[in-house]
Amino acid sequence: MKTALLFAGQGSQSVGMGRDLCERHDVCRQLFARANAVLGRDLQTICFEGPEQALTKTDNAQPGIFLTSLACLEALRSLIPELQFDATAGLSLGEFTALTAAAAVSFDDGLRMVQMRGRFMQEACDSTNGGMASILNLDDAVLAEVCREADVDIANINCPGQTVISGDKDNIAKAVELAKARGAKRAIPLVVAGAYHSRLMEGARVKVADALASLPMQLPRVPVVSNVTARPAGGVAEIKELLVRQVTSPVRWSESMQWLVSQGFTRFIELGPGSVLSGLMKRINRDVEMLSVSDGATLEATAAKLRA
């Protein structure tokens, strides 16, 4: 059985994430303390206590999700020391977590990079008037035409029938109306800070490129699926190039999961706050085994299934 680890992206954060894992597992407490020391600030309290407005800020949410996701992995390893996996993948921010889990990047370097990425993206949000919307059950060709007419971009291809668009807020409103008029089951504006994975993130893309140039990285121990290509990269230079492109490119999540299934992967473990990726997998392929670790209860349940 081939197993892939999956890591969530921004939007999965919730106040209290990681707290009960730290209460139960020394390895999680140590990782959160390490994060505070690396960043020189109290990220743990923001994760545990919020307030929600602070946790939702991109430069807190991204390192917070990264930290909590890797704490979930360490907690699972503490219960299942023989845990093995054959690939990793992560949605947007989660791709950095996936690379860290695959030992391409150290925890310290990954955490610093993710905090910088979050800050750069927040700055891009603050300097533009961006928005996003989720479009449900609209033909791909029709949606592409809607995007052209409204001058917005495809941001996330999450699963069959669910695509997220991104761009100027007024243009997003126009695209929502066009999508509804042309048969979308639903077209829902999202409550987000800006237009992620669109051309409005160009300022962040340039800064991420500069930061990634000096990020220590080695070949991952297992394949890490890129959001941009829905395939693993060929080497460190290509990994970094794709991470830069990812800032303004669509996240091809549905295709990434389909590729893994085509390669014989039958077990997927989502690690981190929330269960967004598990929900998407139900729409992508119901035949695979989908496990998750987000807190103490899901950790115990997943560990029990792996032991069985």
Q: pLDDT digit string (tens) for 37-68?
A: 999 999 999 999 999 999 999 999 999 999 99
Is pLDDT at 137 greater than 90 in this prediction? Answer: yes
Looking at the DSSP bridge assignments, the partners of residue 293 are: 271
Over residues 207-220, the mean pLDDT reads: 98
Looking at the DSSP bridge assignments, the partners of residue 202 are: none
Half-sphere exposure of 18 (CA within 13 A, CB side): 33
- What is the rounded (10 degree) CA torsion for 237, 238, 239, 241? 90
Is pLDDT at 210 greater than 90 in this prediction? Answer: yes
Question: Is pTM, for the whole model, over 0.95?
Answer: yes
Q: Considering 197, 198, 256, 278, which one is annotated as catalytic?
A: 197
Q: Is the dihedral of CA 301, 302, 304, 308 positive or negative?
A: positive
Residue 216, amino acid: P
Q: pLDDT digit string (tens) for 254-298?
A: 999 999 999 999 999 999 999 999 999 999 999 999 999 999 999
Q: Establish whether 78 is a catalytic residue.
A: no
111: closest CA among 76, 64, 72, 44? 64
Q: Is the dihedral of CA 7, 158, 255, 57 positive or negative?
A: negative
| CATH numbers and ranges of domains, the chain | 2-126+199-307 (3.40.366.10), 130-190 (3.30.70.250)
Q: pLDDT digit string (tens) for 77-123?
A: 999 999 999 999 999 999 999 999 999 999 999 999 999 999 999 99
Distance CA(75)–CA(293), nearest Å, equals: 9
Distances in Å between the Cα of 223 and the Cα atoms of 71, 235, 263 are 21, 10, 11
pLDDT (0 to 100) of residue 273: 97
Q: pLDDT digit string (tens) for 157-207?
A: 999 999 999 999 999 999 999 999 999 999 999 988 899 999 999 999 999
225: closest CA among 92, 71, 67? 92
Angle, helix 94-101 to helix 236-246, in steps of 10 degrees: 160
Q: Establish whether 249 is a catalytic residue.
A: no
Q: Considering 12, 25, 69, 92, which one is annotated as catalytic?
A: 92
pLDDT (0 to 100) of residue 191: 85
